[in-house]
Structure 1
């Protein structure tokens, strides 16, 4: 799982906070994990606090700030937290179990499942409510974090609502299959890759001997438990069961999650609100062209501001 996001991309293809100087200092915060603490950062809103949100990170070794040692250095979650603080919304952003400052929570960061992340979400919600006095907590799930948020909404108590940002609306296996097919260079790998996706979707593990070396990082035995748990979930079906306020945010220039995903989520829940940021990439930054190099450059530039309308759109929905 640690390499999954960047491998999929490979196979398929001024950090200036709002209202600087008025925001309180960030505070370290912990929640109980299986074997040790989960670590995060609490940023309290300036002035009157209107809401509290937990930012759930995307796939792979993505840290609390939205960065990844495999090449993702966009700082998207840090910028989102600071922007929301300026809008009166307190946030907690987190390191996933087994990673970064949450390394002590489990011995193996790959040996996780979606239910594990749901349990961690419940732990964070409990801590956040205790530390902030909030009656309920919003979940802001980015990319794979959107799937976790949708699944958590069925089980975790004390939630205000959900914000799904660049979240898949189709089962993960289907999205993975599409990404692999999109790159002509993967042609020779497709039979083995699609057989692996079919097996994992049926709840069966794949023998390493059946995988070409190029596919081993994507379907490594150490991550197959997570893939089985994720492939079993249909985000649209989960969205249909949500009885909380639900905002879906989709970037028009996202090369990892497509408009069809956002539309499928919206179609599943008539009460959901869909917001499209026409120029936003998967990193929540705007790009002016349709050039792939320009799009990918947003993954590596923490100095780019967040997509215009992202913070204000989320804040307005939460306030309503």
Structure 2
């Protein structure tokens, strides 16, 4: 049991009922839907919609709503593009990088397990960025495949090193149909900021035991910082650490180990113990009470003892470098209760900037009303105002305390 990642149980809580099974023939459905969209065959396209999609965009309204969109793009240039595929959230999510007469866009088409179109939307084109091949974050005999995303132009650039949240994540921190770290990497590159993201140790080596968060997370973060610090494209005086969820929780503990860091960014960072968060999530979702005991049994005693001795507030108060704390107000995994504790603890500190966003969930994706796990199965993108906030912080600018 101890060889399991501690956070695999937390991930199960968080993603309750999300399936990762892919639909057979999903690509054929997506390609047919793409052709029908660009050829304005909206009646045929609407027949492919899932019940939820059909309710949102009834067949009789499809032409009226989609027609002007196609008109604004103009004629498709060249053959149908090769799509990128993500298998998540019970769906196959295809992103077609499109070239039209009047615009470059990405067309996202999500196909559910029944072979129905469950999502159709236009996304911004991929930013002008250079990905200089496969790198690796190396810690002893651990080798984690990594991606360094660079802005277009001449460096050296500031860089943000991403630190995963709970669970055995890939480098994009894929959850359901979404990839928050990839969104951040692309958005920051478009704003002149490089980033490094890598496979988490518990994903790359699922059978290897971790005794503490030092083994699970921290050692690899230090190796990642060393990697980017030695790259000619990177300004070694402008290295920032960005932690999401568990990664944000560990920022205060990491800070003294990276004294040369230019600043730190905490997204949806808990301040309360993991067990307390898990108990709240179980109650919120109506999950079986025994899930909490499974969590406690999923790691050795050394893991829990180590975290018991960690006081994130006390450590955060020691940080003198710039610190940005961001929170989604619809987040049920790390709630505004945690954000308010941070706000109170760090009040009046000139190096700290804090923002919360009313529409955002734990993945920093927009929504309305109560946030639920099924929301993670719907493809989305991190909003520009979040990317602008992070870019302003990295570039030394303070933005007004407001957000949509």
TM over 0.5: yes
* 1:40 is the counterpart of 2:146: yes
Where do 5+ consecutive residues of structure 1 fail to align?
Answer: 190-211
CA distance in 2, matches of 1:18, 1:42: 21
Greater Rg by CA: 2
* 1:114 is the counterpart of 2:193: no
CA distance in 2, matches of 1:259, 1:144: 15
CA distance in 2, matches of 1:39, 1:4: 24
1:21 to partner: Cα distance = 5.6
The normalised TM-score by structure 1 is 0.79
Matches within 5 A, 1:288-299: 289-292=368-371, 295-299=372-376
Aligned length: 283
**Of Structure 1 and Structure 2, which has the larger fraction of its residues in strand?**
2
Structure 2 equivalent of residue 129 of structure 1 = 229
CA distance in 2, matches of 1:300, 1:173: 25
* 1:78 is the counterpart of 2:155: no
Structure 2 equivalent of residue 204 of structure 1 = none
Contact 2:147 2:197 in 1 (8 A): yes
Contact 1:161 1:246 in 2 (8 A): yes
Matches within 5 A, 1:198-213: none
SS at match of 1:219: helix
1:121 to partner: Cα distance = 1.3
SS at match of 2:337: helix
Contact 2:211 2:299 in 1 (8 A): no
CA distance in 2, matches of 1:312, 1:55: 17
Contact 1:5 1:59 in 2 (8 A): yes
Contact 1:28 1:41 in 2 (8 A): yes
Contact 1:99 1:109 in 2 (8 A): no
Question: Structure 1 residues 10, 41: CA separation in 2 closer, same or farther (over 3 Å shift)?
Answer: closer
Quick one: which of 329, 340, 361 aligns to 1:281?
361
CA RMSD of aligned residues (A): 2.7
**Of Structure 1 and Structure 2, which has the larger fraction of its residues in helix?**
1
Q: Which has the higher contact order (CA 8 A, sep 6+)?
A: 1
| Residues 202-254 of structure 1: per-residue CA shift (max 9 Å, x gap) | xxxxxxxxxx5x55541235454433323432322221111110000000111
SS at match of 2:197: strand
Quick one: which of 232, 235, 260 aligns to 2:312?
235
The normalised TM-score by structure 2 is 0.63
1:124 to partner: Cα distance = 1.0
* 1:267 is the counterpart of 2:350: no
